[in-house]
Amino acid sequence: MSENKNRQDEFSYRYPHKVYGSLPGVHHGKSLGTGDSFAGFSDLFDYPDPRRLDLRASIRDNMATGNDNYLVKRYQQRSPITLWMMADLSRSMAISNVNHEQLANLTQLVAHSAIGLGDRFALAGFDSGLRHDVYMMPTRQRSMPIIAADMIRDAEVAPAAGVDGLIHAANMITSKHAIVFLASDFCCDLDTVDKALRQLSRYTVVPIVWKHDDVNHLPSHAGWTEMCDSETGERRSIWMRPSIKKRWKQTMDDHFEQLTNCFMRHRVRPLFTDGDVTGEQLTDYFLGRK
């Protein structure tokens, strides 16, 4: 891998459904046109393309029906999709091991892979609201991956706490066919996640769950612990002791279990990560999905 250091990492993916669209792309499409998957015969008169003329099929058809037609083969055209990156820019995404740099790298990876494959890439950043400064309409310009990554790197700190923007960002996704990468730490109310997933139900959603280090969840194991919430800045203080630690861990585990359940309900498989997301990881994810 070392010799490829300067090369942008990539991953390969498949869109599981058939795409309808007039533009050519790589994903299985529904529209008829130039492609490699056979979609039936048609009369040469209707589709005057002698290159696709199938004499054998024509003769058999004429013998069967007594007509005098020439049949041409029709194919399903491959079509592009859009890869949406929904980037959580809330404050909790900017502490220690989970930071904007990793998010930017992921964005660049997704954008590069999408545009490289002829798909379009779009970006929607959110925190407490939709981030208009971190937003990109679907595009296939080759320069966009770096621009998108820089957008996230240079993004300012979230003005307010919360991830309510998730709903707005989900509303922004208007493409007919899209894979939506939802990158967040999911340390938020599950109702919001559930609502967003419901909105995104027509798309293939790939939740990328960034796990915080244990220290960021459980800063101390004993004694007086003063904490401030990364989002709200709300101060909590607690005298840590084994029983509290147990309860704390229980709450945490419950949350992530419920989160997984929530994804399962929406037939979505999350990708858990605690650092940089590599192309290999994503490739494995998509392959595992097959």
Partner 1 sequence: MTFFGLQWALPTVLLLLPLALLPWFTHNQDKTVAWSHFVPADPISNVIGLSLKILASLVVASLIFTLAGPHVPEKKVERVGKGAEVVILVDRSRSMDDPFSTRGKALAVNRTVGKGDSKRRIAKKYLLEFVDKRPDNRFGFVLFSDKALDLLPLTYNKKSVVATINASALGKGLSETNIAKAMIKAAEMYSKEDYHGSRTVLLVSDGGQEFSEEDKQKITELYKVENLRLYWIYMRSTTGLSIEEESEDDSWKNTPEKKLHKFFKELAIPYRVFEIESVKSFSEAIDTIDEQQDQTLIVEEIVPRENKTEPFFWLALITMLALVFAQFYTAWGVRKAHD
- Residues making contact with partner 1 (CB under 8 A): 92, 95, 98, 185, 187-188, 212, 214-232, 234-240, 244, 247-248, 251-252, 255
25/15 Cα distance (integer angstroms): 11
71 forms bridges with which residues in the sheet? 43
Tell me if 264 sits within 8 A of 93, measured CB to CB.
no
Supply 105's token pair: 């790298």
- Least distance between partner 1 and beta carbon 221 (Å): 4
Residue closer to partner 1, measured from CB, 69 or 251: 251
Concatenated DSSP letters for 124-136?
EEESSSEEEEEEE
Supply 97's token pair: 């091991």
Residue closer to partner 1, measured from CB, 39 or 190: 190
- Least distance between partner 1 and beta carbon 6 (Å): 34
Cβ burial of 96 (10 Å; 0-12, 13-18, 19+) is exposed
Rounded to the nearest angstrom, the gap between the alpha carbon of residue 135 and the centroid of all alpha carbons in its chain is 15
Residue closer to partner 1, measured from CB, 233 or 288: 233
- Least distance between partner 1 and beta carbon 253 (Å): 10
Residue closer to partner 1, measured from CB, 172 or 244: 244
Cα dihedral 44, 47, 53, 58 sign: negative
- Least distance between partner 1 and beta carbon 116 (Å): 34
- Least distance between partner 1 and beta carbon 162 (Å): 11
285/290 Cα distance (integer angstroms): 9
- Least distance between partner 1 and beta carbon 272 (Å): 15
Residue closer to partner 1, measured from CB, 223 or 288: 223
Tell me if 67 sits within 8 A of 43, measured CB to CB.
no
Residue closer to partner 1, measured from CB, 214 or 257: 214
